[in-house]
Amino acid sequence: MRWPLTRESLPATRAGAGTMFPSNDEVIAGRAVDWEDRVIPGPAGAPDLEVTIFRPRDRGDRALPAIYNIHGGGMIVGHRSWETGRVVDIVDELGVIGVTVEYRLAPEDPFPAGVEDCYAGFVWLAENAPSIGVDPDRIVVMGGSAGGGLSAAVALMARDRRGPRMAGQGLLCPMLDNTNTTISSLQYDGVGTWQREANLLAWECVLGDRLAVSADAPEYAAPARATDLSGLPSAYIEVGAAEMFRDEDVEYATRIWATGGQAELHVWAGGAHGFDMYMPEAGISRAAIAARLSWLRRTLGA
């Protein structure tokens, strides 16, 4: 990420976003995984969406579980290719299908554009599951950072709109709380891989100045604003102890438990924001990835 991140620096930060990380073929690197890009319908009246589908090569005729991945970047930067490595690793390890989605970014397309794109992509996957080789009853929606917050929002939308059922929501260091009032949001001011200044900018871009840090923000923009967390799919929530999203993520898990819902929470000591991607070989990252895969196996029956 380019620092400082400002409205003026967003174009330069976004430049080449789709080529910042290795290509799909480089990530796959000889593993038995195939991929294809598709263009699918967006929300009503909105542009079409781009998705990438990753499949195990020797899957036979069985309908497989799927993960629907939403990328991070504060809802203001990022590209679905940023998390190809994470998705391909899961596809290869568990023998599932992975789908990554491209969504509109703020401030050019503020709330609700991005989250409506993500929801439309999930609905498309569930409704077209048989033609893609997916079992519609075994789909996990997941993502990191902003993608984690968007995944939580998609779970709320699916519940409220009586949309497709999802097997679980994988919230990896999710960006949930627009108010930036927790202890951890203040501790990591000017420190770390995603800092308070960037987070404030992101919420301003998504919600506008009036609602950026307001408790009246829409819950589909900032899931921490949701007053009812009952009736949601099983949640997996992981976060580093040394990052600004720590406290809002712990609170979200606690509030799910308070409704009688299911949540598995991991707070990784010493973990900075996105530590598994920045330091994949570190012991803490290996442990976090193993825990994540364990939850996915249990949730998807993979």
- pLDDT at position 74: 97
Structural domains in the chain? Answer: 10-300 (3.40.50.1820)
Would you say 100 and 27 are in contact if contact means Cβ atoms under 8 Å apart? no
Single-letter code of the amino acid located at 15: A
- pLDDT at position 3: 59
Q: Which residue has the tokens 């984690």?
A: 148
What's the whole-model pTM score? 0.97
Residue 192 tokens, joined: 């770390």
Phi-psi region of 202 (alpha: psi -120 to 50; beta: other; left: phi over 0): alpha
Of 199, 168, 194, 160, the closest CA to residue 294 belongs to 168
Q: How far apart are CA 100 and CA 5, in angstroms?
A: 25
Output phi, psi for 142, to 5 deg. Answer: -145, 165
Output phi, psi for 298, to 5 deg. Answer: -70, -35
Residue 137 tokens, joined: 């009853």
Distances (CA, A) of 81 to 23, 72, 182, 209, 262: 8, 10, 31, 30, 30
Q: How far apart are CA 284 and CA 281, in angstroms?
A: 8
Would you say 145 and 175 are in contact if contact means Cβ atoms under 8 Å apart? yes
- pLDDT at position 69: 98
DSSP state of 232: P
- pLDDT at position 123: 98
Of 244, 264, 269, the closest CA to residue 254 belongs to 264
Of 205, 147, 143, the closest CA to residue 178 belongs to 205
CA 174 to chain centre: 7
**pLDDT tens digits for the chain (302 residues)?**
555 789 999 988 888 777 778 999 999 999 999 999 999 999 999 999 999 999 999 887 889 999 999 999 999 999 999 999 999 999 999 999 999 999 999 999 999 999 999 999 999 999 999 999 999 999 999 999 999 999 999 999 999 999 999 999 999 999 999 999 999 999 988 888 899 999 999 999 999 999 999 999 999 999 999 999 999 999 999 999 999 999 999 999 999 999 999 999 999 999 999 999 999 999 999 999 999 999 999 999 98
Of 155, 140, 166, the closest CA to residue 295 belongs to 140
Q: What is the dihedral of CA 106, 190, 87, 35, to 10 degrees?
A: 50
Single-letter code of the amino acid located at 105: L
Residue 284 tokens, joined: 């803490």
| Sheet containing 49-56, strands listed edge to edge, beginning at the edge strand earlier in sequence | 33-40, 49-56, 97-101, 64-70, 134-144, 168-172, 234-240, 263-268
DSSP state of 107: T
Helices 283-300 and 84-94, packing angle to 10 deg: 60
- pLDDT at position 20: 79
